[in-house]
Amino acid sequence: MHAEALDALKAHFLAQVSVAPSILESHSRDESYPETHLPDVVVFAESEADVLKVLEVARTFQMPVVPFAVGSSIEGQVLPVQGGISLDLSRMNRVLQIQQHDFCAVVQPGVIYPELSRQSRPHGLFFAVDPGADASLGGMASTNASGTGAVKYGTMRDQVLDMRVALLSGEVIHVGSKARKTSAGYDLKHLFIGAEGTLGVITELTVKLHPLPVAVAVAKVTFDSVQDAVNCAVTVMGAGLNPERIELVDARAVQAVNQYKGTTHPETPTLWIELSGSGEALLRENLDILRECCMESCATRFILAREEPERRELWESRHHAFYALKRLNPGHETHTTDLCVPISQLPDVVSHTQELCLQHGLDAVLLGHVGDGNYHVLFHGDAADEATWTSIHQVSDLMVQKALEVGGTCTGEHGIGLRKRKYLEQEHGDLIPYMRAIKQVFDPHNLLNPGKIF
């Protein structure tokens, strides 16, 4: 790293700059990508002005800048593969406004989503995207994150109304509108959402909040086959029940939970369906319709929970599946996929995945945001076990190939980062030259999170 650049940062930022090994190390990795890459320096921005100053130094000394907040990305998004500055936004963590009557909040990019929901609750509102981990809103926007709430409320893309973005040029632009909809020119907001910090640094977001559901119930429904479970999900969606969540796990996932927790859940494909209603009677009627849909779809068991502790217990095997597999195999590395296909294709695609795992002798659990056609498979293996990892990568490749064949995407919610660049070429090879040209418009010297996406 350019000594003058470091001097400039230190002179300006004083204690907000660090080159301490432990700090560099904690900014060298994310939650799932196997490699690490150290930044040369970490700057803890506390304001938009700080972000602009970092970008000025980057511009002056032609240094890479990698935005960072929580480090919970999955595909290597926050890794400074070319060194340079890790721009830590986690101190920009204030909820600036909650606008109850406009159902929105203005937040800094380092706010983590559970905190936004916590602060929204007294207003009768909540934030609907729940990717897991304690992800930051800025990071979530940058990968178009989603989670279990997407089936009803959509992804980050559907929540962001307006953003301020600091550009490498030193400009701050605002993209989008505080209004609920706009048709004012090219939509640059959606260009920055999902850009993984390669086009600009998000310094403020206005995001939608939603009324808290007043009556909630959860049904846990078991099936003999994934096919039946997915057909049930289609039926539920078609009935206009508009569930809060609808999640699938396969038999192996339940088995892993049982092994790990000593429970005796039926080891069979299981759906969790959460419904809400604006009143109790309404919820009851919805639940009757739900039960009918499930019975029509060959459900083998339908268990209902209305009260909070009971609901939490019911969700247990869903929430614990990943961790069960992880903890059953201590010392193993894990690898998660993130495919999304048209929902009608899901039974075939899931069968295909299960066959591949069987053929390659891989142990894996499957979880799905089934209302969206989005599913994850968690693989695991000893880091030194080359044969297993070769199989895992082969199976992952074949899974993506299958998803693309049926009109799906190589990533439903995790983004491209480093790992999926080859898959993006398969999915959108025709678009990559245009993505590069757009990158050129905002970042001609390729300093913003270089090496990501393409």
Residues in contact with a copy of itself, shown as a per-residue x/- string from 336 to 355 under the rule CB under 8 A: ----xxxxx-----------
Residues in contact with a copy of itself, shown as a per-residue x/- string from 210 to 229 under the rule CB under 8 A: -xxxx---------------
CB 413 within 8 A of CB 374: yes
Residue (61 or 192) nearer to a copy of itself, CB: 192
Residue (187 or 386) nearer to a copy of itself, CB: 187
Q: Least distance to a copy of itself from the beta carbon of 311, Å?
A: 18
Under the binding rule (CB under 8 A), the answer on residue 414 touching a copy of itself is yes
Q: Least distance to a copy of itself from the beta carbon of 248, Å?
A: 14
Q: Which of 257, 273, 274 is nearest to 265 (CA)?
A: 257
Q: Least distance to a copy of itself from the beta carbon of 383, Å?
A: 27
Q: What are phi and psi of 328, to 5 degrees?
A: -70, -15
Among residue numbers 238 through 267, which ones bind a copy of itself (CB under 8 A)? Answer: 238-242
Residue (230 or 356) nearer to a copy of itself, CB: 230
Among residue numbers 116 through 175, which ones bind a copy of itself (CB under 8 A)? Answer: 124, 143-146, 150, 154-155, 157-158, 162, 171, 173-175
CA distances from 205 to 110, 156, 184, 298, 355 (A): 10, 11, 19, 44, 43
Query: Which residues touch 32 (CB under 8 Å, ≥6 apart)?
Result: 73, 74, 75, 334, 335, 336
Region binding a copy of itself by CB under 8 A among candidate stretches 233-241, 258-266, 324-332, 360-368? 233-241
Spatial separation of the C-alpha atoms in residues 388 and 63, rounded to whole Å: 38
Q: Least distance to a copy of itself from the beta carbon of 439, Å?
A: 8
CA distances from 391 to 357, 379, 398, 414 (A): 9, 10, 10, 22
Spatial separation of the C-alpha atoms in residues 256 and 260, rounded to whole Å: 6
How many amino acids of this chain bind a copy of itself (CB under 8 A)? 98
Among residue numbers 393 through 412, which ones bind a copy of itself (CB under 8 A)? Answer: 406-412
Spatial separation of the C-alpha atoms in residues 349 and 395, rounded to whole Å: 13
Among residue numbers 286 through 325, which ones bind a copy of itself (CB under 8 A)? Answer: 286, 288-289
Residue (158 or 363) nearer to a copy of itself, CB: 158
Among 263, 387, 390, 434, binds a copy of itself (CB under 8 A): 434
Does residue 161 come out as left (phi exceeding 0), alpha (psi in the -120 to 50 range) or beta?
A: alpha
Q: Least distance to a copy of itself from the beta carbon of 76, Å?
A: 14
Residue (266 or 347) nearer to a copy of itself, CB: 347
Among residue numbers 175 through 194, which ones bind a copy of itself (CB under 8 A)? Answer: 175, 177-191, 193-194
Residue (118 or 284) nearer to a copy of itself, CB: 284
Among residue numbers 96 through 115, which ones bind a copy of itself (CB under 8 A)? Answer: 99-104
Under the binding rule (CB under 8 A), the answer on residue 432 touching a copy of itself is yes
Q: Least distance to a copy of itself from the beta carbon of 45, Å?
A: 21
> Cα 265–271–273 angle (5° rounding)?
120
Q: Which of 451, 314, 309, 334 is nearest to 392 (CA)?
A: 334
CB 57 within 8 A of CB 85: yes
Count other Cβ atoms within 10 Å, centred on residue 411.
Answer: 26
CB 394 within 8 A of CB 50: no
Region binding a copy of itself by CB under 8 A among candidate stretches 63-71, 253-261, 320-328, 372-380? 372-380
Spatial separation of the C-alpha atoms in residues 320 and 318, rounded to whole Å: 6
